[in-house]
Amino acid sequence: MNIAMLNGSPRGRNGNTQALLNQVLIGMQSVSQVKGETLFLRSTKDTPRHIQSVKDADLVILGFPLYTDGMPGITKHFIDALYPVDLQKQPWAFLVQSGFPEAKHSRPIACYLAKFCQRIHATHCGTVIRGNSEGIHLRSEKANRKIFDQFNALGASLIRDGHFQQDLLDQVAGPEELSWMMKQVMKTRASNFYWNMMLKQNNAFEKRFDAPYAPAYRGEKSKEK
């Protein structure tokens, strides 16, 4: 079986998306002989080659991180470039990972991906939702063993059953919403320590409360009056 594995993360091979895609592939290879390559969508100059690889594949797996409740721009660029196409029931599976602990943030994009499959006439084999993923690529394999075993099982089920098993998807997704106690913890400054550190590393800490679209919106509303 020839697989096209699409990585829609701006981090490429060094991010959490690739770490999880690798585990899905290991699970697939435990069931059947599969071959293929990982295509990194951040290399937009290679989009025509990526599209051709998709058309030649027996199965496509698209993985990406959730950015502001949506997909990264490079992933949307690829999807837009794919239209119009008729993939004649070609199997497509998806992986959406994020730093949010709750699964509910990823549900709308999962609905979009199912609809996307209808539009390109592909077969939707399911969407893996995994929250609380930040830092997976930095931890040891031993620390990630439970998560990796779950993704191995998902890959095996995709080959064996032709789709991701629902009970495995539920296990990986985790809680739909935070408990009351966790919501209280998230309101504390301590919960923001990691994210503030990341903002500082990317020179964005002082801009964390910016609302770039608010002035334009207020201007439009004032004109209406």
- Output the pLDDT for position 76: 95
* Backbone φ, ψ for residue 95 (5° rounding): -135, 120
Look at 194 and 15; give whichever has higher pLDDT.
15
Number of Cβ within a 10 Å radius of residue 96: 26
Choose among 54, 23, 29: nearest CA to 41.
54
Bigger pLDDT: 25 or 193?
Answer: 25
Q: Report the pLDDT value the prediction gives residue 46, as an integer from 0 to 100.
A: 96
pLDDT tens per residue across span 66-111: 987 789 999 999 999 998 889 999 999 999 999 888 888 899 999 9
User: How far apart are the C-alpha atoms of 33 and 176, rounded to whole Å?
Assistant: 35
Q: Read off the pLDDT of residues 164-219 as tens digits, 9 standing for 90 and up.
A: 999 999 999 988 876 656 656 666 666 677 778 878 887 888 887 777 656 554 45
pLDDT band for position 65 (cuts 50, 70, 90): very high
Pure H helices in the chain? 16-29, 47-56, 73-82, 107-119, 145-161, 166-173, 180-186, 193-201, 214-224
pLDDT given for residue 217 in this prediction: 46
Q: Which ranges of 30-179 does DSSP label H, i.e. alpha helix?
A: 47-56, 73-82, 107-119, 145-161, 166-173
Q: Which of 83, 109, 12, 94 is nearest to 61 (CA)?
A: 94
pLDDT of residue 225: 45
Superfamily of domain 2-173, CATH level 4: Flavodoxin domain (3.40.50.360)
pLDDT for position 221: 47
Band the pLDDT of 224: cuts 50, 70, 90: very low
How much is the average pLDDT of 6-12? 95
Contact present, 98 and 106 (Cβ < 8 Å): yes
Mean pLDDT of 113-122: 96
40 has pLDDT over 50? yes
Q: What share of the chain is helix, strand, coil (3-state, %, to 5)?
A: 55, 15, 30
Give pLDDT, residue 198. 76
Cis peptide before 84 (omega within 30 of 0): yes
Q: Where in the chain is CATH 3.40.50.360?
A: 2-173
